[in-house]
Amino acid sequence: MKAYTELSNEELQALRKDLAARYKEFQDRELSLNMSRGKPCVEQLDLSMGMMDVLHSTVDLTDEDGTDCRNYGVLDGIPEAKELMGAMMEVPADNLLIYGNSSLNVMYDTISRSYTHGVMGQTPWCKLDHVKFICVVPGYDRHFAITQYFGIENVCVPMLADGPDMDMVEELVSSDDSIKGIWCVPKYSNPTGNSYSDEVVRRFARLKPAAKDFRIYWDNAYTIHHLYDDDQDQLIEILAECKAAGNPDMVYKFASTSKVSFPGSGIACLATSLNNLEDIKKQLKIQTIGHDKVNQLRHVRFFGDINGMKEHMRKHANILRPKFEAVLEILDRELSGLEIATWTKPKGGYFISFNTMEGCAKQVVSRCAKAGVVMTPAGATYPGGKDPQDANIRIAPSFPPAEDLKTAAELLTVCVKLVSVEKLLTERGVSF
């Protein structure tokens, strides 16, 4: 295909007329489709229905230590659940705390605790004149919303093919003691699907922060969320790497089973150094006597061990992989060679990151909505919803049925073409 920038004004005008007609055809179909968030679909939720049967009124509800899971106690999680989640997170069970169903809640709690009571004896952030946090962009909107909620300044660093721009990260962290942390999704990142390289992980572990209470917020949300058996991204384990680099306390590692079992009824956990755990437990024992041990036991008995969990994730992949491939096939077929868009091709996770020409993303999302397809708001992958290039769109293929997903992807390509043509005509001063 010929690049749009190489087309004459007359060719662009004719192309716009054809695209406008195709867009009108989509509008006439009165679609009502939503691909705005990375929710598991019904078929994925059905995979975990057997979890509802492993515990019932005649089953023994004691853990391997003899604790009655129906009662109070066990602040950090039952032993077998810690072993299971530790294996998923690639950390020793002793470095783990198990919480409720949401890792986002754990991250919020961690920021809140640091804000009100400080980190390991350091000054609470609320008593400081200024606090900053590094946000890797494009990234996860709910991360940025947490720090923004506490009045923390979000400082953007670009995501590259192999992870954050570490030259920028190292310079910022080492020179500014008001920078207290960085948000990371290191594996199959939200939204790019890229994973951090070995070099990037090692550079993270060897950071020399000016702030003694600086922490890496390592949200390993997609740690076992591969799309392929034979082509998977693997990461160096960050806790071990930090310990080897002489920075054992520098990282908080988060994960959950939200997209493994039931998103609203999974288990979340935090892995970190023993020093950090001791500090966290001082607050946690005031906050709760213990989280839902019955649910922890349910997960252990359903999955058995990490091998059972990985086999379960292969079933998820069998549902998700055709959806990702369908979207990517349509993007490749309709947009390759036109030089009006780029997109990632992830090996796992839940998203595809799509970039329009500069200044076009909001218009594309708006056009899609007017034709009945709701996308993630343009700019959502940047703090405050403000993408300085107005280019990034997060595509979430998981939830819609396959045929609806194809329709949505085809509409997206029509909208991208139409908005791009109009941008080029406007830049050339040509009316349409």
The residue from 237, 271, 304 where one domain ends is 304
The residue from 276, 304, 332 where one domain ends is 304
Q: What residue spans of 288-383 are helical by DSSP H?
A: 293-303, 306-335, 361-370
177 and 276 share a domain?
yes
Q: Is the pLDDT reported for residue 1 higher than 90? A: no
Q: With cut-offs at 50, 70 and 90, classify the pLDDT of residue 185.
A: very high
330 and 393 share a domain?
yes
109 and 32 share a domain?
no
Looking at residues 133-144, what average pLDDT do you find? 98
Chain centroid to CA 5: how far? 34
Query: Considering its fold, how many domains does the chain have in total?
Result: 2
State residue 56's pLDDT score. Answer: 94
Rounded Cα–Cα distance for residues 255 and 187 (Å)? 11
Rounded Cα–Cα distance for residues 137 and 202 (Å)? 20
Looking at the domain assignment, is residue 385 inside a domain? yes
The pair phi, psi for residue 157, each rounded to 5°, is -130, 135
Going from the C-alpha of 32 to that of each of 35, 387, 405, the distances in angstroms are: 10, 27, 12
Residue 98: how many CA atoms within 13 Å on its side-chain side? 32
Looking at the domain assignment, is residue 51 inside a domain? no
Looking at the domain assignment, is residue 410 inside a domain? yes
Rg (CA), the chain: 23
What is the 8-class DSSP label of residue 128?
S
160 and 93 share a domain?
yes
Looking at the domain assignment, is residue 53 inside a domain? no
Looking at the domain assignment, is residue 52 inside a domain? no
Looking at the domain assignment, is residue 390 inside a domain? yes
Sequence length of the chain is 432
Beta strands in 365-432 (DSSP E): 373-375, 392-395
Rounded Cα–Cα distance for residues 90 and 84 (Å)? 10
137 and 174 share a domain?
yes
Summarize pLDDT for 379-427 with one digit per residue, the tens: 999 999 999 999 999 999 999 999 999 999 999 999 999 999 999 999 9
Summarize pLDDT for 153-162 with one digit per residue, the tens: 999 999 999 9
Rounded Cα–Cα distance for residues 371 and 375 (Å)? 11
Summarize pLDDT for 298-348 with one digit per residue, the tens: 999 999 999 999 999 999 999 999 999 999 999 999 999 999 999 999 999
State residue 37's pLDDT score. Answer: 84
> Which residue range(s) make up the domain with 201?
62-304
106 and 73 share a domain?
yes
